[in-house]
Structures are given as structure tokens and as C-alpha cells.
Amino acid sequence: MIKASYEILQPANSQSFLVRKFDKLAFDAPYHFHEEYELTCIIKGSGKRYVGSHMEDFVAGDVVLLGPNLPHCWKLDAVNVLPSEASAIVIQFNDAFLGDDFFNKFELQHIKTLFQKSGCGVSFHSDTQVEVKQLLLNLVEEKSNFRILIGLLEVLQRMASSDEYILLDQHRVVAERSLAERERINPVFAYLVENFRKQVSLDAAASIANMTSNAFCKYFKKVTRKTFMETIIEYRLNYAIQQLVQTDKPISEISYESGFGDVSHFYKMFKAKMHLSPLNYRKRFMRNITTAAKKMSA
């Protein structure tokens, strides 16, 4: 069975935190979690980002801060991506990397608040996203350990002072659970992340959680505020929407690739969520893109 893997991080050369630039390998990581905070900036690539129970598209420029033990992974759209066609900058640290009480200082109160928000996963946009990306690009090229440290604090302060963000896993489905509950629910989400486009089995998910199917259904809804089937359909529809607007694949092909075995069921579920048929949704999206392009060229 697929499980949310626990990652142990080891800073090199006695550094108190990790600053790394990855190629495609960064996107091969499974749905996993670790005790450190993680700041990720996507330099190249696009696909799906999974944070806790939240799934969303990502593109180049994506900037996300994750709190400790929050399961996550980034999956590229294309399978045959060259190493040079996907890259990310990743910084990982714990809240005591500068001492146990460092972030309790008055001058750092906004960063401490940012850390509290990161339990949901924080995605930055607009000017903050652009500025943080540039700061990180500068940081990863810096040779001085002292300037790297100062640069990280500047990045944290820039994010902490911004209101250009959204919280991802807003119900804190995973972040505020006890260790025992995380050990139970994390592998279930790992199973969904890897299998929602295929045949997903309630019995298999219940087995991963070491529960009977009936008990698991009640537990899953209590934790996520959604039924197990609602969560699967949400994942599938989110993936289908991405395919509708980014490809010219036939609707039937998208339906099957997204995990819907029956096209008519796909139409029904899609219309219930989006209030449009898949075909009309695609047409409206293309009209909006054309209109926006005309306004920019005017």
C-alpha cells in the first residue's frame, strides 16, 4: 500500500537550514511530510500541487510556505519532461534553527504569525509572489552563509507583511491532528493522490486506516467534512478542468483520464459543480482568453 512517507532532513556543512535548487527530481517525490517548515518556489514546470487535503494547479512562479508535518507533493502534468524543463527552489528549516526563543522576539511577531498560518499551507500571489521568487533566485546563488541567513529572514519578513496570499488546507484537515491521527489519515490521502485517476477502493482506503469500511466512512467525514466519494470526485473534477482548458482532448478522453468510467456520470458531476457542461466550460474559457488577449493588444 502507498503511504505518506516521512522525510528526515539533514542540513549539510553544519548549516542550520537547507537551501536547494532541484530539477525534475523535486517533482518525483511522493506525497510526504517532515517536521520542518518548507518554502517552495517553482521556477519551471506546471501540474498539480497537493497540500493536506487540498489540490490545485501550479505553474512557474508558484510560491508556497508549508508548516511542519503537513503532507505535500508537486506532480508535473507531462510524464516525459526533461530535467532542464522543470525546476524549483526549496528551503527547509525548523522554528528553532536560530534558537528556541528567537522568533518570540517582538520584532519578529509577524513572522511568528506567518508560521502559525503555514499549518494550512500558504500560497502567495501578485507582487509578493514575484518579489519572493526574485529574492529566492538571488539567495540560491549567494555564497556567503551569513548573507544566506539574512536573505532568508528578508524573505520571511516579506511574506509575513503581505496580504497577497490564500490559505490552502483551510480546515486544517491534517495540520491540527494528533500524531496518531496524522499517521492514520496521511496514508489515506497518499493513496488518493496516487490513485484517484484509477479505480479507487473504499475497502482499500479503510484497510490503510486499519478500520472497517463503515467506521472509516464516518471517520473520514468527521476529519475532512466531506464524504470519501465527494473527495474523490473533487480530485477528479479538478484534474478534468485542467485538461479542458490546457488541452484539446475530446471530452470522453478527459472523462476516462480523470477517473470517470462513465461519460454521462462525468457530465452530471461536472455540471453539478460548475453549472456548465464540460464543452460549454471549455468554450467559455476560450472566449475569455480571446477577449483578454484583445484588450491587452488594444
CB 124 within 8 A of CB 161: no
The predicted pLDDT at position 14 comes to 52
Distance (Å, whole) CA 239 – CA 48: 8
List, in order, residues 6 or more apart from 33 with CB less than 8 Å away.
4, 5, 6, 7, 69, 70, 71, 72, 182, 186
CA atoms within 13 Å, Cβ hemisphere of 158: 22
Q: Pick the residue with more confidence: 46 or 26? A: 46
CB 280 within 8 A of CB 252: no
Length of the chain: 298
Residue range 5-20: mean pLDDT, rounded: 62
What is the pLDDT confidence band of residue 8, given thresholds at 50, 70 and 90? very low
Task: Return mean pLDDT, the chain.
Answer: 87
The predicted pLDDT at position 3 comes to 45
The predicted pLDDT at position 79 comes to 67
Taking 90 as the threshold, does the pLDDT of residue 249 lie above it?
A: yes
| Domain formed by 5-167, architecture | Sandwich (2.60)
Instruction: Considering the chain, tell me which residue range(s) the CATH 1.10.10.60 domain(s) occupy.
Output: 196-288
Give the tens place of pLDDT for each residue, 266-290: 999 999 999 999 999 999 988 887 7
Give the tens place of pLDDT for each residue, 188-231: 999 999 899 998 999 999 999 999 999 999 999 988 888 999 99
- Is residue 116 exposed (0-12), middle (13-18) or buried (19+ Cβ within 10 Å)? exposed
| Domain formed by 196-288, architecture | Orthogonal Bundle (1.10)
Phi, psi of 56 (to 5 degrees): -155, 155
Please list the residues that pair with 91 across neighbouring strands.
19, 39
